[in-house]
């Protein structure tokens, strides 16, 4: 089932306005594959009628479209190396310069929570070895559905099989029926809320480390620059920005330094004014 050119342009513009995701021509098949199931659930017989309802401002359908067109690919300890760097280098470094002894980590575009909870489990390993420190994970995502899933901390066996280390399964999960639920001590360390990375992070806490991984690739260059600036605005001087391994950031300016680490893309913000 094909989507008309004008309908694709409308959906692409809608998604850009709501999420800043850039759907260029050539992504018609992706849009069709995500919208057809929603069309059938809505009771419409074709995509033209479905998009017509979007044009009329059906908010429930609009929210479902944004959720459907947001990429939610995630797994535990994805790519491994950034999490090793987090434990061995980033955490010790921010701890040395912390005035409050409270470590705050932002999992940006957190999807269903696997990245944030992976970081939380590493922090639970680290905190007993560093008495006097406190820590928290803040996860945000553009999808309300993903925020709900992350907050629940409940995962299927298939999701568990995607990267979770066996010792952490044993230590930090309870089996409930056919699913696995994170123990309270892990869930208490992480909070999840809705957030649009392209909008100023008003009310967001100052952070020591930001994981902004595998998300910049979905934005056009001006939006990438805006997202980086929004991250900088809540990253304390000396804090770290962790990107995805295949991502490139726009020119970050003289107050950013690329950190020499193996198999991970990490920048440190040096402070001293705007980036």
Per-residue pLDDT of the chain (275 residues; tens, 9 = 90+): 688 899 999 998 888 888 878 888 888 888 888 889 889 888 888 899 999 989 888 888 888 888 888 767 789 999 899 999 999 999 999 999 888 999 999 999 999 999 999 999 999 999 999 999 999 999 999 888 899 999 999 999 999 999 999 999 999 999 999 999 999 999 999 999 999 998 898 899 999 999 999 888 888 888 888 999 999 999 999 999 999 877 766 667 788 898 988 888 899 998 765 44
Provide the edge-to-edge strand list for the sheet that holds 265-269. Answer: 190-194, 134-141, 102-108, 207-212, 235-243, 265-269, 256-258
pLDDT of residue 190: 97
Q: Bridge-partner residues for 181, per DSSP?
A: 154, 174
Q: What is the DSSP letter of 178?
A: T
Q: Which domains does the chain have, with CATH numbers?
A: 5-70 (1.10.155.10), 81-269 (3.40.50.150)
Q: What is the pTM of this model?
A: 0.83
156: left (phi over 0), alpha (psi -120 to 50) or beta: beta
pLDDT at 250: 63
pLDDT of amino acid 85: 95
pLDDT value, residue 251? 67
∠ CA 128-108-86, rounded to 5°:
35
Q: Are strands 207-212 and 190-194 parallel, antiparallel or unpaired?
A: unpaired
Return d(Cα 265, Cα 275) in angstroms, integer.
18
pLDDT at 177: 94
pLDDT for the residue 275 = 47
pLDDT of res. 249:
64
Phi, psi of 212 (to 5 degrees): -120, 70
DSSP string, 90-124: IHHHHHHH-SSSEEEEEEES-TTSHHHHHHHHHHH
- Apex CA 181: angle with CA 148 and CA 136, to 5°? 65
């Amino acid at each position: 089932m094909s989507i008309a050119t004008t309908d694709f342009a409308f959906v692409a513009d809608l998604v850009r306005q709501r999420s800043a995701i850039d759907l260029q021509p050539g992504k018609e098949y992706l849009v069709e594959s995500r919208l057809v199931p929603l069309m059938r659930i809505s009771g419409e017989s074709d995509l033209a009628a479905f998009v017509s309802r979007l044009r009329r401002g059906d908010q429930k359908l609009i929210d479902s479209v944004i959720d459907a067109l947001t990429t939610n690919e995630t797994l535990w300890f994805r790519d491994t190396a950034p999490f090793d760097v987090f434990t061995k280098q980033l955490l010790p470094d921010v701890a040395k310069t912390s005035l409050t002894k409270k470590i705050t980590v932002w999992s940006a575009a957190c999807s269903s929570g696997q990245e944030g909870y992976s970081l939380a489990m590493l922090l639970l390993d680290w905190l007993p070895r560093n008495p006097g420190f406190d820590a928290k994970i803040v996860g945000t995502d553009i999808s309300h559905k993903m925020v709900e899933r992350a907050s629940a901390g409940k995962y299927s066996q298939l999701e568990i099989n995607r990267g979770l280390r066996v010792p952490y399964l044993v230590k930090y999960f309870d089996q409930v029926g056919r699913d696995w639920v994170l123990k309270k001590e892990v869930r208490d360390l992480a909070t999840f809320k809705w957030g649009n990375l392209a909008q100023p992070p008003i009310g967001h806490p100052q952070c020591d480390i930001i994981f902004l991984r595998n998300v910049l690739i979905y934005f056009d260059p001006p939006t990438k620059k805006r997202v980086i600036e929004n991250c900088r605005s809540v990253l304390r001087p000396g804090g770290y920005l962790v990107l995805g391994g295949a991502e490139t950031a726009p020119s970050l300016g003289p107050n950013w330094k690329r950190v020499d680490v193996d198999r991970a893309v990490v920048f440190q913000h040096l402070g001293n004014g705007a980036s």
